């Protein structure tokens, strides 16, 4: 799909989140086991099954067609008119700091793709070089959210003057 880290629709049926249920609870300086080995094994088995379902869904033609349609839609539509203004609005919409907005603007101009797809790639390209892993992941997710941005919201960004 994308070679620079796009995270597509993290809320969809084709995503996987795992929350560690933990094995130990610290009380003062002593650790107490609260889950039996059987419980941990069942939880691990559930995660494995979810991972299999996620991979199966990600490889399905239907999911591929949905994502491809979103990408094609992002490549069309309204184009950014004034990159500096559009990146300001994009930054406010997506929660980018000043440094990130500057990098997004630089990437956008260098790529010369003023579509929503180009803006998405400008954001995820910032994630590739970001020194903080957590923020890098957030930027990838922000890029993915642009795929689902309502056309009216994108038009407001693209036509910012």
User: Confidence band (pLDDT; 50, 70, 90) for 10?
Assistant: very low
Report, in angstroms and rounded to the nearest whole number, the Rg of the chain calculated over CA atoms. Answer: 20
pLDDT score of 7: 57
pLDDT score of 130: 94
pLDDT score of 128: 93
CB 138 within 8 A of CB 156: no
The tens digit of pLDDT for each residue in 127-148 reads 999 999 999 999 999 999 999 8
User: Confidence band (pLDDT; 50, 70, 90) for 13?
Assistant: very low
Domain-wise residue ranges, the chain: 24-69, 71-158
pLDDT score of 91: 96
CA 94 to chain CA mean position, Å:
11
pLDDT score of 145: 92
Q: Is the pLDDT of residue 9 over 60?
A: no
Please enumerate in sequence order all residues whose Cβ is within 8 A of that of 107, keeping only pairs 6 or more positions apart, or say none: 121, 122, 123, 125, 126
CA distance 140 to 6: 5
- pTM (2 d.p.): 0.69
Q: Is the pLDDT of residue 26 over 60?
A: no
User: Confidence band (pLDDT; 50, 70, 90) for 1?
Assistant: very low
User: Confidence band (pLDDT; 50, 70, 90) for 87?
Assistant: very high
- Average pLDDT value for residue range 85-108: 96
pLDDT > 90 fraction of the chain, expressed in percent and rounded: 61
């Amino acid at each position: 799909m994308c070679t620079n880290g796009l995270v597509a629709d993290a809320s969809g049926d084709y995503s996987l989140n795992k929350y560690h249920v933990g094995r130990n609870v610290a009380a003062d300086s002593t650790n107490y086991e609260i889950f039996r080995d059987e419980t941990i094994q069942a939880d691990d088995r559930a995660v494995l099954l979810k991972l299999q379902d996620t991979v199966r869904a990600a490889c399905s033609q239907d999911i591929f067609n949905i994502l491809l349609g979103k990408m094609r839609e992002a490549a069309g539509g309204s184009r950014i008119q004034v990159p500096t203004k559009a990146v300001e609005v994009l930054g406010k919409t997506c929660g980018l700091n000043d440094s990130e907005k500057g990098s997004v603007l630089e990437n956008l101009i260098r790529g010369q793709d003023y579509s929503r797809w180009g803006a998405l790639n400008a954001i995820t390209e910032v994630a590739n070089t970001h020194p903080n892993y957590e923020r890098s992941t957030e930027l990838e997710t922000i890029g993915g959210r642009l795929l689902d941005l309502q056309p009216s919201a994108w038009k407001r960004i693209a036509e910012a003057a």
